[in-house]
Amino acid sequence: MTNSVTPITEGDHLVPLYMDVHHLDGPVTADDVAKAHMADLQIQDKYDVNYRRYWVDEATNTIFCLVEAPSPDAANTVHREAHGLVADEVHEVKEGS
């Protein structure tokens, strides 16, 4: 069983893949992030965005999101509209195995 996801394509090219990072001032729980992720999924299609996965570091109040999006702004627009927690950093990444 593989854990890969088929990337989104626009025409003949792949949509960029980003890792965004949120550094929160207060405590964060995996349950809170799961709810925020579900809110992202509800509206992401409106912006041609695909939030694929997320990770939570409860000890440092940090959240990481893996997202396919036409731009970092499109990814942050989904976060802003869904729950208001925009990323502090957005890095374009390439997936490896």
What is the predicted pLDDT for the residue at 2?
41
Question: Which residues lie across from 11 on neighbouring strands?
Answer: none
44-59 pLDDT, tens digit per residue, is 999 999 999 999 999 9
Rounded to whole angstroms, the Cα distance separating 27 from 12 reads: 42
16-45 pLDDT, tens digit per residue, is 999 999 999 999 999 999 999 999 999 999
Question: pTM value?
Answer: 0.84
What is the predicted pLDDT for the residue at 8?
53
The CATH number corresponding to 9-93 among 1.10.3720.10, 3.30.70.3090, 1.20.58.100, 3.30.750.24 equals: 3.30.70.3090
Which tokens go with 80?
């802003």
Rounded to whole angstroms, the Cα distance separating 7 from 17 reads: 9
Contact between residue 65 and residue 11 where contact means Cβ atoms under 8 Å apart: no
The domain ranges of the chain are 9-93
